[in-house]
């Protein structure tokens, strides 16, 4: 029996990433042992309800979590430590970990300025936005652009006899996304639109009642969706809309590759990097007018949608899986270990 090298994976409790990343590491003939940090519970929910600060609660949870990290680190003596996002890591914890360690962000560094204080304590640094590499270099901080991938066990083509959903969306319903999707729902009210994500929380009683009394409930499902259900939805949909965060200028979300992995067609927010790398695998839009025009064009052009989706799937399964990503990270950690 092969004695596999242990990897301590530390990640936020978000979107099943800990499980997905652990499985990908295990496929690389390593053994992932993971810890998940959850900043939120019923206490923080109460704070949010009454509009009071939850900072003390979260800080205490971080302290307890970091203590658990060091206990597990000493117990398993891992070959490497991989930290996802890392805004919950304390400096003393990182200083106590002597094996090679890597950090991988799934948001722009601009969202986590406090992490820069601990940047040099990691051996390897992987960032979400290509432009972050240059920004960090200006501050004499090293990094490598490594975008999010997808889990091929959760996202794969499903043979469906018909595309019974015309337009779909999956994701958080913030600012610009709501505005764009509301326009889509209005302009294409004769189409079957299914938009997943929390449009209005039940705790906001007045706004929630207004929502359920409006026509918006016909398109906005107002709930989250599992990876398995999302994969099914992508396969059933003619046009999957992918709206990137407004701050994302040179990167993309996990959804881009998840839709490709499902063998489905998508219209995604434009940036130069996406348009160049994924040419012929998807299409992009710069504003709502362009999105509307392209929906009208592609909705009745099944052959073109299929061509794009098939090319995107072939690329994604060979290049964009999390297995592919962790092979890169683990190989670099092995090199790092040999050079120490």
3-state SS of 130-188? HHHHHHHHHCCCCCEECCCCECCCCCCCCCCCCCCEEEEEECCCCHHHHHHHHHHHHHC
Question: Are the beta carbons of 274 and 308 closer than 8 angstroms?
Answer: no
* Helix (H) or strand (E) run with residue 195 in it: strand 193-196
Phi, psi dihedrals of residue 276, rounded to the nearest 5°: -80, -50
pLDDT over 80 at 62, yes or no: yes
Q: With pLDDT > 90 as the criterion, what percentage of the chain qualifies?
A: 76
Residue 44 has pLDDT above 80, yes or no: no
- Sorting pLDDT into bands at 50, 70 and 90, what band is 49? low
Instruction: Classify domain 165-319 at the CATH superfamily level.
Output: Glycogen Phosphorylase B; (3.40.50.2000)
Q: Can you give the pLDDT at residue 46?
A: 66
Q: How far apart are CA 111 and CA 65, in angstroms?
A: 21
Residue 258's pLDDT is what? 98
- Are the folds of 5-149+321-339 and 165-319 the same? yes
What number is the average pLDDT over the span 162-187?
A: 94
In this structure, are residues 168 and 196 in contact, taking their beta carbons and an 8 Å threshold? yes
Count Cβ atoms below 10 Å from residue 224 Cβ, excluding itself. 14
Q: What is the pLDDT of residue 42?
A: 62
* CB of 292 closer than 8 Å to CB of 280: no
Residue 288's φ and ψ, nearest 5 degrees, are -65, -40
pLDDT at 203: 72
**pLDDT band with cut points at 50, 70 and 90 for residue 144:** very high
- Structure confidence at residue 250 (pLDDT): 85
- Sorting pLDDT into bands at 50, 70 and 90, what band is 200? confident
How large is the average pLDDT for residues 61-74?
A: 96
Report how far residue 185's alpha carbon sits from residue 172's, in angstroms, rounded to the nearest whole number: 16
pLDDT band at 101 (very low <50, low <70, confident <90, very high): very high
| Residues written for the chain | 340
CA 282 to chain centre: 18
CA distance 335 to 301: 49
Which of 134, 105, 139 minimizes the C-alpha distance to 122? Answer: 105
Residue 1 has pLDDT above 60, yes or no: no
Quickly state the pLDDT bin for 2 (edges 50, 70, 90). Answer: low
Q: Where are the domains of the chain?
A: 5-149+321-339, 165-319
CA distances for 40 relative to 46, 110, 152, 244, angstroms: 10, 22, 29, 25
Least confident range of 235-249, 304-318, 324-338: 235-249
Residue 36: is its pLDDT beyond 80? yes
- Confidence at residue 273, expressed as pLDDT on a 0 to 100 scale: 94
Range 138-151 average pLDDT: 95
> What is the arithmetic mean of pLDDT over 112-127?
93
Q: Measuring CA to CA, how many Å separate 91 from each of 15, 71, 103, 110, 253? A: 26, 16, 14, 19, 28
Whether the predicted pLDDT of 284 surpasses 80: yes
Whether 264 has a pLDDT exceeding 80, the answer reads: yes
**10 Å Cβ neighbour count for 272?**
11
Q: Mean pLDDT across the chain, nearest whole number?
A: 92
Cα Rg for the chain, rounded, in angstroms?
21
CA distances from 37 to 40, 318, 338 (A): 9, 31, 30
| Of residues 316, 61, 32, 296, the one with CA closest to residue 167 | 296
5-149+321-339 architecture in CATH?
A: 3-Layer(aba) Sandwich (3.40)
Instruction: Using the Cα atoms of residue 165, residue 170, residue 173 and residue 179 in order, give the sign of their dihedral.
Output: negative
Mean pLDDT throughout 277-305? 97
pLDDT tens, 203-251? 778 777 777 778 888 899 999 999 999 999 999 999 999 999 877 778 8
Long-range contacts, 252-256 (Cβ 8 Å, 24+): 252/147, 252/148, 253/148, 253/171, 254/15, 254/106, 254/148, 254/149, 254/150, 255/170, 255/171, 256/282
CA distance 68 to 162: 50
What pLDDT sits at residue 226?
95
User: What span, in angstroms and rounded, lies between the C-alpha atoms of 12 and 34?
Assistant: 10
Task: Round to whole Å and give the CA distance between 324 and 318.
Answer: 8
Q: What angle do CA 42, 47, 48 make, to 5 degrees?
A: 95
- Residue 236, token pair as written in the block: 């059933």
């Amino acid at each position: 029996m092969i004695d596999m090298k242990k990897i301590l994976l530390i990640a936020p409790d978000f979107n099943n990433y800990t499980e997905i990343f652990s499985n990908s590491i295990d496929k690389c003939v390593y053994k992932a042992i993971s810890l998940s940090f959850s900043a939120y519970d019923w206490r923080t929910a109460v704070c949010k309800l009454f509009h009071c600060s939850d900072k003390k609660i979260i800080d205490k949870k971080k302290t307890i979590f970091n203590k658990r990290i060091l206990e597990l680190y000493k117990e398993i003596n891992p070959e490497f430590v991989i930290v996802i996002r890392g805004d919950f890591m304390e400096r003393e914890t990182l200083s106590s970990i002597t094996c090679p360690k890597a950090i991988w962000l799934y948001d722009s560094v601009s969202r986590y300025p406090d992490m820069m204080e601990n940047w040099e304590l990691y051996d390897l640094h992987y960032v979400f936005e290509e432009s972050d590499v240059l920004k960090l270099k200006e501050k004499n901080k090293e990094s490598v652009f490594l975008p999010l991938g997808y889990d091929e066990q959760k996202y794969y083509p499903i043979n469906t006899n018909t595309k019974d959903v015309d337009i779909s969306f999956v994701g958080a319903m913030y600012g610009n996304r709501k505005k764009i999707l509301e326009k889509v729902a209005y302009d294409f009210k004769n189409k079957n639109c299914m938009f997943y994500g929390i449009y209005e929380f039940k705790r906001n009683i007045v706004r929630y009642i207004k929502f359920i009394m409006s026509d918006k409930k016909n398109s906005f499902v107002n709930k989250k969706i599992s990876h398995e259900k999302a994969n099914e939805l992508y396969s059933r949909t003619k046009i999957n809309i992918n709206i990137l965060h407004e701050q994302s200028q040179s990167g993309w979300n996990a959804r881009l590759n998840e839709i490709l992995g499902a063998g489905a067609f998508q219209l995604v927010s434009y940036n130069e990097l996406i348009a160049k790398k994924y040419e012929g695998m998807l299409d992009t839009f710069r504003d709502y007018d362009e999105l509307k025009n392209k929906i009208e064009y592609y909705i009745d052009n099944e052959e073109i949608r299929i061509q794009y989706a098939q090319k995107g799937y072939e690329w994604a399964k060979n290049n964009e899986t999390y297995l592919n990503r962790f092979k890169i990270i683990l190989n670099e950690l092995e090199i790092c270990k040999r050079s120490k």
